Structure 1
């Protein structure tokens, strides 16, 4: 298989899930898509080295995450305005559960959010999350523990609010 065909197959097999991962980290679908596209473009430029080193997905995921978080920080005000005014009319609707989860993830700090997404949404073991984030396994476990507690509180509060709206109109 040629390098181009190998890269195309890798992209087809991993891009959709990577966009979902970065979206979960940032809460902004457009930024996630842009960051993932840029990460794959950078991966193509290094494709030979990346495949010789082993699985290129952790590298692409790390690059996409860093790009998205940097962009997210620079465009925080634009994101707040978009959230205030709602999604653009041509954006597909998201399920209430997904919206609640993304809202709860936004309440976590960036390190906690990244650990949760890598560990719980991508099913990476703690040791792999530690490698990708440049942290110790103990630090990852602490972030996950604190994040789960905060997420539980956030999602419980959202559910209580929804129940009150339904019962009290």
Structure 2
């Protein structure tokens, strides 16, 4: 991939990837940071990317792994530093109540189920593509999707938007 092709790829996919990572992380700034870091890492590998090589999948996987690593480091640091100081978790105010309910419900799911749901339903990846990106078997992805949908439906059934406009569709 030439520098010009990479620039065009960046312009076409940065917003979409940031939106996808936002759903996974629940934090817009964190999503932007990890997607940007993934693009920085991809710049050095751009010659190995071509349209058939799925560079967007590589960026998304790298960004998801970066987010997971940051979360582990943050959790470990908070555990060590926060033994004497308890802090409330940082939350981002979404634009609508419906969005808040969905993001909150997704946060309650295990990371593997959340990632499978986001990659399959939001990123429109097939079960096989989700398996390839996450390193799980196809049957494990199917199981995560089924369990994630069931858990998400149960969580969302307990929560309902207070406004008439914000009818949540599952």
Q: TM-score, normalised by structure 2?
A: 0.82
Partner residue in 2 for 1:114: 115
CA distance in 2, matches of 1:96, 1:131: 34
Pairwise CA distance, 1:149: 0.7
- Closer, same or farther: CA 52–23 of 1 in aligned 2, 3 Å: closer
Following TM superposition, where does structure 1 have runs of at least 4 consecutive aligned residues deviating by more than 4 angstroms?
76-80
Residues 1:29 and 2:37 are matched in the alignment: no
**Aligned 1:1-169 pairs, distance under 5 A:** 3-51=2-50, 54-76=53-75, 80-83=88-91, 93-159=94-160, 162=162
CA change 1:80–1:106 in 2 (3 A) is farther
Q: Secondary structure at the match of 1:82?
A: coil
Alpha-carbon distance in 1 for matches of 2:97, 2:40: 33
Give the Å deviation of 1:74: 2.5
1:89-119 deviation per Cα after TM superposition (whole angstroms, max 9, x unaligned):
xxxx521111111101101111101100000
Contact kept? 1:31, 1:72, Cα under 8 Å: no
Q: Gaps (5+ residues) in structure 1?
A: 88-92, 164-169
| Contact in 2 for aligned 1:22/1:32 (Cα 8 Å) | yes
Higher share of residues assigned helix: 1
Change (3 A) 1:64 1:80: farther
What RMSD, in angstroms, separates the aligned Cα atoms of the two structures? 2.2
Residue matched to 2:168 = none
Count of residue pairs brought into register by the alignment: 154
Counterpart CA distance in 2 for 1:81 and 1:9 is: 37
